[in-house]
Structure 1
């Protein structure tokens, strides 16, 4: 239970920090270079590259047919492959040569959501969320687009990010982008060695520590680097690099997360 509370607390902190996201002036063309370089310094085995983007798509509360129409258009934009899954396609999901995507519509009070999940032409996992709702506090209508792309190839990092920016920009949106590279080491790494790895990463990207959180099996460092062209605020301090390491006892592996500007999911 204590471990679960820790993960929930970290997740809440990340959500609050990300809500105050601020983008520096200029285009973030060099954003990936220091992050990819940081991962290579760790010498860990790549698990996944994860890039998340979101922005408001309109100030309207869309009906079911409207939100599905928008979603249908996004299938081509993000190169979602295959056919829409139905119940009689369950067996076909086992056939790798016959890709399938899902589209789920969820309606709640003052909120409608369309979730599309599939794979693109590069075999990256893509989740698209269209969220339309009435803000009870401002009484304003909003529709947001949230895209999450995961790849197992480090070389796809630049391509995915560039493609996301292009798609959002063509829709006259300027997305908030959060990226995270996840790797693993065999066995349990001692905290002093974790600190050495994190320190070496920070030196490589020219980052200075802003905050630190440590426990017997986890270390999390928030830092700021002028070489990364985006940031959020934690208190009055800028931060744009979040590095965490934690041992997974079930797998007997030590995980490392390197994110900019922040790790936006539990670890």
Structure 2
């Protein structure tokens, strides 16, 4: 259930962002900006997540049609075998496959079809590809592999990323805030919106060094930095995401 909720949340955010996404020429790539931001904090970078989203067509497909589509996508990504999940209701049909590509990266492929509302939203079928990694080299490898395969085949698609890093032990709230400010300063980012509580700091910002961005109500943003303490791991966690971090924290 949590997995389906996460997939639904990611799809909703990316669907809303599709019409406002801009792709001018980059000065820094989004991945480079995230690395620079976290390196400025001094935290140990521990990997992250790559996501690719695309609208495949404007049809409400049957589960059989989604099965064929998923098989084609698995062949593109050279995923053999793997664990498959299926879910459906009046307003959606979804198939998901988790497996390892021949490139050595773990991926989840999700295809979801919705009937639309007959008024403002047409029927659509969406693709979401997710790869989670546990080191920076693995993250770079996943980014390169997915970009090489997916961009030529689905140029209308959108990538998003987040990197995770941490410090041993617990930082004070003031120290965590200072670290998030250092991350923004490293990429000349301007704060757009912030959420600061005793347990969490989440800053949404815009860096002009990365020209890809989202635009909502005349505000541009393309960087999300989060800091919090993990009681279980006993570590201070710093995440940086482009354009937003979709995972719960």
Q: How many residues align?
A: 240
Q: CA RMSD in A?
A: 2.7
Unaligned segments of structure 1, at least 5 residues = 1-7, 84-100
Residues 1:160 and 2:157 are matched in the alignment: no
User: 113, 119, 135: which is aligned to 1:132?
Assistant: 113
2:25 maps to: 26
1:5 maps to: none
Distance 1:76 1:263, change over 3 A: same
> Take 1:18 and 1:71, find their aligned partners in 2: how far apart are those partners?
20
**1:163 offset after TM fit, Å?**
3.2
Which segment is superposed worse, 227-236 or 198-207? 227-236
Can you list the C-alpha shifts for 1:129-158, whole angstroms capped at 9, x where unaligned?
Answer: 000120124363211111111111212434
1:55 maps to: 54
Q: Secondary structure at the match of 2:193?
A: strand
Can you list the C-alpha shifts for 1:208-248, whole angstroms capped at 9, x where unaligned?
Answer: 11222211121111111111131113543211111010112
Which segment is superposed worse, 135-144 or 147-156? 135-144
2:183 maps to: 201
User: 129, 141, 152: which is aligned to 1:170?
Assistant: 152
Distance 1:59 1:18, change over 3 A: closer
Unaligned segments of structure 2, at least 5 residues = none
Q: Secondary structure at the match of 1:140?
A: coil
2:198 maps to: 216
Q: Secondary structure at the match of 2:132?
A: strand
User: 99, 104, 111: which is aligned to 2:92?
Assistant: 111
> Take 1:211 and 1:44, find their aligned partners in 2: how far apart are those partners?
23
2:71 maps to: 72
Bigger-Rg structure (1/2): 1
**1:111 offset after TM fit, Å?**
2.0
Matched-pair contact (CA < 8 Å) for 1:168–1:174? no
Residues 1:240 and 2:239 are matched in the alignment: no
Distance 1:18 1:188, change over 3 A: farther
Q: Secondary structure at the match of 1:216?
A: coil
Can you list the C-alpha shifts for 1:21-40, whole angstroms capped at 9, x where unaligned?
Answer: 51232368722212112222
Can you list the C-alpha shifts for 1:180-215, whole angstroms capped at 9, x where unaligned?
Answer: 001222221111111221222222111111222211
Residues 1:149 and 2:131 are matched in the alignment: yes
> Take 1:181 and 1:263, find their aligned partners in 2: how far apart are those partners?
9
2:170 maps to: 188
> Take 1:69 and 1:15, find their aligned partners in 2: how far apart are those partners?
24
Which segment is superposed worse, 16-25 or 69-78? 16-25
